[in-house]
Structure 1
Amino acid sequence: MARLPYEEYLRHLRSDSARLREVLTGCDPEARVPGCPDWSARDLLGHHAGVLMFWSTIIEQRPEGPAEDWTEPELPTAYDELLALHAEQDARLGAALAAADPAEPAWSWSPDQTVGFTFRRQAHEALIHRLDAEQTAGQVTTLDPALAADGVDEALDVMFGGTPAWGQFDGTGGVVRVDITDRDESVWVATGRFTGTDPESGTSYDEDDISKTDPREGAPDAVVSGTAADLDAWLWRRGDDTAVSVTGDPAVSDHFRRCVNQAIN
């Protein structure tokens, strides 16, 4: 799958962040967020404002790691002030990215240590939290198909399937093809196990996992299909599987379901 141009990621980041703010402006600050039940509208707004602030700092200052000169901000308690902070940080990150070359080095928590990672990741962060805001306010609008299709790829390759340098993914032979029906695109995923010990926390892992893989000859063991918007929302647990079709080997498809059956905030 071809990625979107970086200027498109920036355009979506700006428009979806603005839409999130527009929807939450008229929302009850204590309304619950369906995709994140522990959050209120106020929590959602504060969370995304903090995310925008963090990545603005990363792009502006280019620290060696996330802890350098960074302290968690104390967010305003007044809702109108929180809205204003979100608008300020939205404009700040947009300006920082617009002034940067996507190929320049910049820290991230992924193997991709370039500014380009932030362009793409924050476009999808804004898209999903915009959907959170719309679901909270009962004002859901359609997701852009091109961005949502890229979101399916990002969710499977980075958010669920990314293997850190200190770990190892071992495929079991099961392969799932995820068909994006309204885009005529597919993402292939191998099922297997992840093992490794995180050098920072000392935590050891040995668990079911998935990893994006190249297309293979012949049919996959299982097929998951749906529109870009339905698949992206389902993978992020912002939508159910009523519009998603799953066929093929039950053992392989169940393995896949277990690996993506976890909310990401």
Structure 2
Amino acid sequence: MKDYCALVESETARLVELVTGAAPGTPVPSCPGWTLAELVTHVGGTHRWVIHLLTTRASEPIWSRDVPNGLAPGESGDAAWLAAGAARLLAVLRSTDPATPVWSWGGDHSAAYWARRMAYELVVHRVDAELALGLEPAVPAPVAADGIEELLGNLPHARWVTRRLAEAGADGATIHLHATDTDGEWTITQGPGGLASWEPGHAKGDVAVRGPAGDLLLMMYGRRFADTLAVFGDRDLLDRWLAKAAF
């Protein structure tokens, strides 16, 4: 999966389609406490934050709450506001050299990081909207496999996650993921201080999960545990780890 701008474009179009005409107060079960209006406001605000990071070539941390999103205090974004921000984000991503240095909260401090990060931010939140509206989500296997690796690469840098994982009592534990619909296997090793590392390929873990890559991705993000997933080994370890690791 390399054309992240195309993925941003298609996923935004789908999300805009989903929320157009939907009740803004619809609860989003996969994001407890959120409504569709809050989901849209979060996604559109994130887009405007990344536009700011890229256009200013930020070299120091700037957080989304510190970047104006064009809404009045207490106002929620709507489908048109979401689409406008996404269009601007795409224009900035496509006109910025991927090698351009720019701050990120991950391990890669370049514009390329943000194209990939925004792609999977949209994939997961599009799924959130579908689940909220009672629709069955689907993530193509190649997209999901790359999304799993993007997530695993970000885990050690997500301080809000590592703090929780440090409390999981899982140091040294291994979790193996095996996609059944594409070429993808990954082994996660939980290290000290909440830092998780991973390697591709086949291995035996303390617990293993097999199933479609899309369902593995949604499991890793804490969105749902689909019936298509088969667990082998220490299920308690898996449940405990997933509860702490979910974004």
Which of the five TM-score ranges fits, normalised by the shorter chain?
A: 0.7 to 0.9
Distance of 2:173 and 2:124 partners within structure 1: 29
Structure 1: gaps of 5 or more residues? 195-207
What SS class does the counterpart of residue 232 from structure 1 fall into? helix
- List alignment gaps of at least 5 residues for structure 2: none
Of all paired residues, the percent bearing the same amino acid is: 29
What amino acid is the match of 1:178?
L
What CA distance in whole angstroms lies between the structure 2 residues aligned with 1:215 and 1:175?
Answer: 13
Residue aligned with 1:261, SS? helix
Q: Across the two proteins, how many residue pairs are aligned to each other?
A: 239
Structure 1 residues 140-149 or 118-127, which shifts more? 140-149
Alignment partner, residue 259 of structure 1: 241
Residue 224 of structure 1 aligns with which residue?
209
In structure 1, distance between residues paired with 2:176 and 2:121 = 24
Distance 1:56 1:37, change over 3 A: same
Partner of 1:180: 179
Give, in whole Å, the separation in 2 of the partners of 1:90 and 1:219: 42
Structure 1 pair 65–264 and aligned structure 2 pair: CA distance change class (3 A):
farther
> Aligned letter for 1:258?
R
CA deviation digits over 1:163-201, x for unaligned, max 9?
Answer: 77xx9x99954433211111121112112321xxxxxxx
User: What TM-score do you get using the length of structure 2 for normalisation?
Assistant: 0.84
- Letter of the 1:20 partner, please give it: L
Residue 97 of structure 2 is matched in structure 1 by: 101
1:227-242, aligned counterparts within 5 Å?
Answer: 227-242=212-227
Structure with the larger helix share: 2
**TM-score when scaled to structure 1?**
0.79
Tell me which structure has the larger Cα radius of gyration: 1
| The structure with more strand, counted as a fraction of residues | 1
Tell me by how many angstroms 1:227 deviates. 0.6
Cα deviation for residue 228 of structure 1 reads 0.8
Conservation of the 8 A alpha-carbon contact between 1:32 and 1:38: yes
- Name whichever of 66-75 and 98-107 sits farther off: 66-75
Question: Where in structure 2 are the equivalents of 1:190-229 lying within 5 Å?
Answer: 190-194=189-193, 208-213=194-199, 215=201, 219-229=204-214
Q: Secondary structure at the match of 1:32?
A: coil
Aligned-residue Cα RMSD (Å) equals: 2.9
